[in-house]
Amino acid sequence: MNAPAVKIPPNLSPIEHLLALAADDMAKVDAIIRARMQSPVGMIPDLAEHLVGAGGKRLRPLLTIAAAHLCGYQGEHHYKLAAAVEFIHSATLLHDDVVDLSAKRRGKKAANLIWGNAPSILVGDFLFARSFNLMVETGSMEALGILSTASSVIAEGEVRQLAGLRDVEMSVETYMQTIGAKTAALFAAAAEVSPVLAGSGTAKQNALRTYGQELGLAFQLVDDALDYGGFEVSLGKSIGDDFREGKMTLPVIIAYANAVKNDDTTARAFWKRVITDHDQNEDDLAVATAYLKSENALEATLGAARAHVKTAQSALDVFEDGNWKSALMRLADFVVERVS
């Protein structure tokens, strides 16, 4: 089914393979993104171009496109929803960079450090509003419901993360709730809107939502491991950002739990100083990374990611085999494999 019209070169990574398979669609999505980030107020396209033009992986709109093919959708509305998904993502990135005081984004200087915080906040608002304009144009109230709910869940997740900063005793459950909201909710919504457009029924809708949610969890777990470096992959952002912010992620939760279990007072004191007291010096990131490695905390985090990849893949059982299903299966593996 869905034999690709394009010739796919061999030896591509799964995401490159999927991007090649969806090249024509993604060109249409890109055209919508570029057309709809325009404004007579020049600062808006300038700043949007800095972020959107930097590309990124376009993973979330790609999910929408791939899910639409998987469901045999024949219409045109998935292009606008994919663009809307990317606008929501771009808006949260702009706001995150102000909130997190990030130095780099997608390998470039973060927009707020060039234009200042105010334009990043306001252009984020603009892109977020534009995402709803695009959704309205599709006429799908159900898709609007899914994406607007995801948007409020994302904001809730971001606030939860903020409230949990420097909480060295954060539970795994709170952490998983946080990343489920701030990251996985948009992956889930991006995948779920396509069966809604296609009218594929509840089973396939649930399956794609689960696929997106689990893929999003795996993606964030891997990202949180990558923040401590040591992997042969370019993040396009600074190493150690989470650590410097006092952000609790699974690697640190695991390492701190081990320190408590083993009654390692030196390690406990270290984590309390750098996280709770947020008293850090230049060498502390290296010390932290050494602790994480000696406790196998990064490997354990990748292990957790692999489990979510498996759940994501199983969710696709309801679909017949084919190019798009196999591309999504491989994409899920790749989310973890990219660091190995």
Q: Specify whether the CB–CB gap between 270 and 291 falls below 8 A.
A: yes
Among 18, 26, 52, 99, binds a copy of itself (CB under 8 A): 99
CA gap 174, 172 in Å, rounded: 6
The DSSP H or E segment spanning 78 is: helix 77-100
Instruction: State the nearest-atom distance from the C-beta of 50 to a copy of itself, in Å.
Output: 14
Q: Which of residues 108-137 bind a copy of itself (CB under 8 A)?
A: 117-119, 121-123, 125-126, 128-130, 132-133, 135-136
CA gap 8, 192 in Å, rounded: 26
Q: Which of residues 206-235 bind a copy of itself (CB under 8 A)?
A: none
Q: Which of 131, 313 has the CB closer to a copy of itself?
A: 131
CA gap 236, 104 in Å, rounded: 7
CA gap 73, 112 in Å, rounded: 39
Instruction: State the nearest-atom distance from the C-beta of 330 to a copy of itself, in Å.
Output: 33
Instruction: State the nearest-atom distance from the C-beta of 335 to a copy of itself, in Å.
Output: 26
CA gap 331, 211 in Å, rounded: 11
Instruction: State the nearest-atom distance from the C-beta of 124 to a copy of itself, in Å.
Output: 8
Q: What is the DSSP string of 214-246?
A: HHHHHHHHHHHHHTT--SSS--SS-TTHHHHHT
The answer to the question of residue 186 lying near a copy of itself (CB under 8 A) is: no
Q: Which of residues 41-70 bind a copy of itself (CB under 8 A)?
A: 41-44
Only segment of 148-156, 222-230, 268-276, 308-316 that touches a copy of itself (CB under 8 A): 148-156
- What is the CA angle 198-209-213, rounded to 5? 150
Q: Which of 149, 294 has the CB closer to a copy of itself?
A: 149
The answer to the question of residue 20 lying near a copy of itself (CB under 8 A) is: no
CA-closest candidate to residue 86, choices 153, 156, 134, 136 = 134
CA-closest candidate to residue 128, choices 156, 147, 101 = 147
Contact code string over 78-97 relative to a copy of itself, x by CB under 8 A? -------------xx--x--
At which residue do the structure tokens 């709770």 appear?
A: 276
Among 12, 27, 114, 141, binds a copy of itself (CB under 8 A): 141
Q: Which of 41, 290 has the CB closer to a copy of itself?
A: 41
Binding footprint of a copy of itself on the chain (CB under 8 A): 39-44, 91-92, 95, 98-99, 117-119, 121-123, 125-126, 128-130, 132-133, 135-136, 139, 141, 144-145, 148-149, 151-152, 154-156, 158-160, 162-163
